[in-house]
């Protein structure tokens, strides 16, 4: 079995070779399938979703951000804080982005909210460089999202949580060929699996959720 770093490096190299046309096509597919997923979770009302900004050769998420906003949903984007913590800022098309202080990423400017804001969220869209059909995820290597996902259980058990039918739905965004066979990604105790892969080609249920629609 390849190590996480070997898989991450290989996929980053392939991503770097993508053309602008390929990125635009991927962004359109992610937006289309992401909106369908979000609509299935929010139902007839406007929902709230935590996402991130994909940049460079990463799967583009800006089309999805705009599509969700146009559909009436609220969007939260992360800000990296000390100690591998994330805070969250509500995003709109006019929002300003600034260079992150603690990570080399673009982050939204605005009022920051702690993890408790997730009590009002319908679903979470995560970054990844690879997924396997078991639901194991390889992120960017910083550890922010594993720590964030681990912190959710206590927050979501409190009163006022919008999503009450089970774990908060999660989907990680990758290209179609970055969804690997079950067991391809080594799982460590601190890793947190995800429920679905959101790709330009569609939404694929992972792990125990496979085959449920």
66 is in an annotated binding site: no
30 is in an annotated binding site: no
141 is in an annotated binding site: yes
Radius of gyration from C-alpha coordinates of the chain: 16
140 is in an annotated binding site: yes
- Token digits for 194? 């995800």
Q: Cβ(9)–Cβ(44) under 8 Å?
A: no
8 is in an annotated binding site: yes
The DSSP letter of residue 28 is H
90 is in an annotated binding site: no
56 is in an annotated binding site: no
208 is in an annotated binding site: no
131 is in an annotated binding site: no
Could you tell me the CA-to-CA distances from 149 to 5, 12, 122, 175, 186 in Å, in that order? 21, 24, 14, 22, 18
Contacts of residue 136, Cβ cutoff 8 Å, sequence gap at least 6: 184, 185, 186, 187, 191, 193
6 is in an annotated binding site: yes
5 is in an annotated binding site: yes
12 is in an annotated binding site: no
Q: Which residues are annotated as a binding site?
A: 4-8, 53, 58, 137-145
Give binding residues for ATP as ranges: 4-8, 137-145
- Residues that constitute the known binding site for substrate: 53, 58
């Amino acid at each position: 079995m390849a190590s996480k770093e070997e898989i991450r490096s290989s996929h980053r190299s392939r991503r770097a070779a993508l053309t602008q046309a390929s990125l635009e096509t991927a962004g359109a597919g992610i937006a289309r399938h992401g909106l369908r997923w979000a609509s299935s979770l929010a139902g007839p009302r406007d929902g709230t979703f935590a996402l991130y900004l994909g940049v460079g050769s990463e799967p583009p998420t800006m089309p999805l951000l705009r599509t969700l906003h146009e559909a009436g949903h609220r969007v939260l984007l992360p800000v990296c804080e000390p100690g591998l913590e994330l805070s969250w800022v509500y995003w709109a098309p006019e929002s300003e982005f600034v260079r992150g202080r603690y990570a080399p990423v673009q982050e939204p400017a605005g009022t920051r909210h702690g993890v408790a804001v997730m009590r009002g969220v319908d679903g979470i869209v995560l970054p990844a460089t690879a997924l396997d059909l078991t639901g194991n995820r390889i992120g960017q290597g910083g550890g922010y999202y594993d720590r964030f996902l681990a912190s959710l259980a206590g927050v979501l058990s409190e009163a006022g949580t919008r999503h009450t039918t089970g774990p908060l739905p999660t989907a990680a965004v990758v290209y179609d060929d970055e969804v690997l066979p079950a067991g391809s990604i080594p799982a460590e105790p601190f890793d947190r699996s995800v429920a679905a892969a959101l790709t330009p080609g569609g939404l694929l249920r992972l792990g125990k959720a496979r085959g449920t629609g």
